[in-house]
Structure 1
Amino acid sequence: MTTAASSLVLLGLLVLFLGAGTWIFSGLMLVGASAMYFVLDFNLTRIGSIATKVISSSAISWELAAIPIFMWMGDIVFRTDISQRLFRGLAPMVARIPGGLLHTNVFGCTVFAAISGSSTATTATVGKITIPELQKRGYDINLASGSLAGAGSFGLLIPPSIAMIVYGVLAQVSIADLFAAGLIPGLMMALLYSGYIAISALISPSKAPRYEGEITLGTLGKGLLELAPIMILMFIVLGSIYSGIATPSEAAAVGVAGAIVITIVTGQFSFALMRDSLMNTIRVSAMILMLIAASAFLSAAIAYMHLPTQITEAISAMDLSPYGVLLILAALYIVLGMFLDGTSMTVMTVPIAVPLIVQAGFDPLWFGIYLVIMIEMSALTPPVGLNLYVLQGLTGDSMGRTVRAAAPFFILLCIGTVILAAFPQVVLWLPNAL
């Protein structure tokens, strides 16, 4: 079967099963099994044997242990008053910058992302505090919600990131290197967002009322004390990884212990909190791990069809430049992001995208960060932009207004990808230096 025919068969099967409302896990499994049965003419016994081997081998990867543990750490913190402490701690530090307290969205999400790993959790946790406070103080709600939509996606880019763990396992790239590679791009995007907010406030001062309170060394000191618990937790988790003392999975376990200690020290520990956070972690982690297992089975079907090789050869025959390949993938991810969540996009595309990228001469470590930014874009694109739904619930605005508010930050993400493509050392310098 030709490359075009094989691709159309797979695409048709995906549309058939996912369009019919099938769970994504079931849909991916059915696509893989159908491709093996109808295209490769495998019998059911052989398909079952392949599924058993592939799913069991994909499910026992030690690196995957980091996913539920990091998620548990983030969920524990989510149920505490950390977001309130973030706002109180950051407010005096950013009040005098053009844009004032709007920067608490950006820097608050940047800090919280370092202990969350989830885009929606970061958006919801920071937003439930900052949005009411900014509305009460007369800040422009469009700029407030748009900046939160964009900065909330830092949960994917600032390590530790669940998306990076999923990509690292599927693409066989070091997760510790991915964590290091995401740090500078994450800070770069935070500066781009804050720069846009500052320029918008300078052009239209009414968007960000001038802070009239007094900023003293005392207020700054109190702010640092408010930030201390979350900064200590960041130092424990990221410091243990970057120093080589612990693997990501081991650092996650230390992070959970640190989060529990914080709840005890701040007087917020309860068995109900632990029970609820653990149950939610089990539900979400099971979903992610099931998707990874289904993706491994679909990847096996794709490999048996020799589709990655065929697509790579077909694109090579088109004589595209490396950046031409990158542009095609960017367009593909933007379209997919309108209909799929980030984890689904990753598990469905990595088996084909990584060989293309390697063939084009890009480093798979670099591509992991590029892919994460593409996933961040999907959080801002309707109709399945998860951050948009979170924000709509926080602000009560229409979806159309929420999308328009987030549009400038979507454009800034596009600019960020161009910078990373033009200067790959922004991604590669830190992991190479460590």
Structure 2
Amino acid sequence: MDLTITLLLIAALFLILASGVWIGLALTGVAWIGMELFTSRPVGDAMAMTIWGSASSWTLTALPLFIWMGEILFRTKLSEDMFKGLAPWLDKLPGRLLHTNIIGSTIFAAVSGSSAATCATIGKMTLPELKRRGYPEEMTIGTLAGASTLGLLIPPSIIMIVYGVTANVSIAQLFIAGVVPGLLLGGLFMAYTIVWSLLNPERIPPADQPLGFLQKLYASRHLIPVVSLIGAVLGSIYSGIATATEAAAVGVVGAMVIALVQNELNWKNFRDSLLGATRLYCMIALILAGAAFLTLAMGYIGLPRHLAEWIGSLGLSPLMLTLALMAFFIVLGCFLDGISIVVLTMGVLLPTVEAAGFDLIWFGIFVVVVVEMAQITPPVGFNLFVLQGMTKKEITWLARVALPMFCLMVLAILLLYFFPGLVTWLPQQMAG
């Protein structure tokens, strides 16, 4: 009977979501229906306590600050400067300037925390330039679609903060754990680009006028602002000087300093960045509040217990459980954004994952990589929406050119499973 109720509520949730109701309100509504009809707990009291508790988390204050930092940087010349600093060093590498998407996204991810912001910021600058130079469009857009998802994995990461709060694990440890997998994924994207370029050399435009070493070094001065900001934010966390929330405040101040130096810190940009961050955070906070209430309702109804018992009864090996969860998250990613996926599923899945012996830090990175994959799967792939707005291409075409990057993320999941030290080694060193 409990399982039937649970399935009915899940069906109701997807029906309401399909009708276009805001995700946060849909989650709250289904939770209310579930508790009102199928439990004896007073619903109003439970909802008020749960929503207040989820909204007043001190750890969560890092989230709006990192979003604001990204919004400020989005309105500066930071991305343009990164291109100028990177381009001279890539002339000898097969694929040449195709790598600016990947390296630029990797660098910007370390100051952004959002894959959509990384995609929009890097894409606005690289796509017109690469098109003007004659680089193949399917590779320039495909590499950007894949590499911009690193905004979720390379710290600081909005989704890591959400997972850390939901799973009650150290956000600083998660940030540290994301560094090596992020660089690994960036390396896989670059390796694919190199192989593709060696197989299709006629499609890569000739190199620019070669620069001497000192000229390249001089061009690299454009990278100083972004490298300094990354050093300030991540260095303050890793050295133990600041918590994730305090480091986010450091990032906001650093972003304002960069905007001031570049003469971009005017009243309009300040107001637009603050309003943009407020809008995005309010959306996320509503989803988090609704998901926290739904998790509570599902707990009273018995979903986590039933799901854990069902998965346990399947007798899956850890590898098969990992693959099953990956398929589950990919399917959810076709309909929900990454933050919704995390907050909707963690309350249900974490007991099962812990019972299977998974390290919660490792599982957090696994979830982030799988959610990255959801960013480039139609119909609700956020990065595909961003790219569609910039390129006016069909979603199906964008998904097709991003498919190789999706396959590389599957490979990355398998590497992380067979070599868990890629995730856990760095946090252990920092803790020791």
Which TM class, normalised by the smaller chain length? Answer: over 0.9
The residue type paired with residue 396 of structure 1 is: K
Say whether residues 1:424 and 2:424 are aligned partners: no
Deviation larger for 214-223 or 150-159? 214-223
Q: 1:192 aligns with which of 158, 183, 188?
A: 188
Say whether residues 1:170 and 2:166 are aligned partners: yes
Partners of 1:117 and 1:159 within 8 A in 2 = yes
Q: Report the counterpart of residue 203 of structure 1 in structure 2.
A: 199
Partners of 1:99 and 1:208 within 8 A in 2 = yes
Give 1:263 shift: 1.3
Give 1:222 shift: 2.4
Q: Report the counterpart of residue 12 of structure 1 in structure 2.
A: 11
Give 1:392 shift: 2.2
Q: Report the counterpart of residue 362 of structure 1 in structure 2.
A: 358
C-alpha distance in 2 between matches for 1:399 and 1:29: 31
Q: 1:322 aligns with which of 313, 318, 321?
A: 318
The residue type paired with residue 33 of structure 2 is: S
Partners of 2:154 and 2:182 within 8 A in 1 = yes
Partners of 2:66 and 2:251 within 8 A in 1 = yes
C-alpha distance in 1 between matches for 2:359 and 2:230: 28
Q: Report the counterpart of residue 63 of structure 2 in structure 1.
A: 67
Q: Report the counterpart of residue 313 of structure 1 in structure 2.
A: 309
The residue type paired with residue 33 of structure 1 is: W
The residue type paired with residue 183 of structure 1 is: V
Give 1:376 shift: 0.6
Say whether residues 1:390 and 2:397 are aligned partners: no
The residue type paired with residue 304 of structure 2 is: P
Partners of 1:98 and 1:198 within 8 A in 2 = yes
Partners of 2:308 and 2:349 within 8 A in 1 = no
Give 1:264 shift: 1.4
Q: Report the counterpart of residue 40 of structure 1 in structure 2.
A: 39
Deviation larger for 28-37 or 159-168? 28-37
Give 1:396 shift: 3.0
C-alpha distance in 2 between matches for 1:60 and 1:11: 27
Per the normalisation by structure 2, the TM-score is: 0.97
Q: Report the counterpart of residue 252 of structure 1 in structure 2.
A: 248
Which secondary structure does the structure 1 equivalent of 2:20 belong to? coil
Q: Report the counterpart of residue 219 of structure 1 in structure 2.
A: 215
Q: Report the counterpart of residue 111 of structure 1 in structure 2.
A: 107
Say whether residues 1:149 and 2:148 are aligned partners: no
The residue type paired with residue 56 of structure 1 is: W
Q: Report the counterpart of residue 155 of structure 2 in structure 1.
A: 159
Which secondary structure does the structure 2 equivalent of 1:190 belong to? helix
Partners of 1:185 and 1:427 within 8 A in 2 = yes
Q: Which runs of 5+ in 2 are unaligned?
A: none
Deviation larger for 177-186 or 19-28? 19-28
Give 1:207 shift: 2.8
Q: 1:122 aligns with which of 118, 125, 130?
A: 118
1:357-406 CA-to-partner distances (Å, cap 9, x unmatched) read: 11111111111111111111111101111111222232333322211110
Partners of 2:6 and 2:298 within 8 A in 1 = no
Q: Report the counterpart of residue 23 of structure 1 in structure 2.
A: 22
Partners of 2:95 and 2:197 within 8 A in 1 = yes
Which secondary structure does the structure 1 equivalent of 2:324 belong to? helix
Give 1:7 shift: 3.2
Q: Report the counterpart of residue 409 of structure 2 in structure 1.
A: 413
In the comparison of the two structures, how many residue pairs are matched? 430
Q: Report the counterpart of residue 237 of structure 2 in structure 1.
A: 241
C-alpha RMSD over aligned residues: 1.2
C-alpha distance in 2 between matches for 1:354 and 1:213: 55
Give 1:41 shift: 4.5
Give 1:309 shift: 2.0
Partners of 1:6 and 1:307 within 8 A in 2 = no
The residue type paired with residue 38 of structure 2 is: V
1:51-91 CA-to-partner distances (Å, cap 9, x unmatched) read: 11111111111111001101111110100011100111110
Partners of 1:17 and 1:30 within 8 A in 2 = no
Q: 1:293 aligns with which of 289, 292, 298?
A: 289
The residue type paired with residue 8 of structure 1 is: L
Say whether residues 1:92 and 2:88 are aligned partners: yes
Partners of 2:116 and 2:386 within 8 A in 1 = yes
Give 1:210 shift: 3.0
1:271-293 CA-to-partner distances (Å, cap 9, x unmatched) read: 11111100111110111111111
Partners of 2:84 and 2:220 within 8 A in 1 = no
C-alpha distance in 1 between matches for 2:266 and 2:141: 32
Partners of 1:379 and 1:386 within 8 A in 2 = yes
Which secondary structure does the structure 2 equivalent of 1:238 belong to? helix
Per the normalisation by structure 1, the TM-score is: 0.97
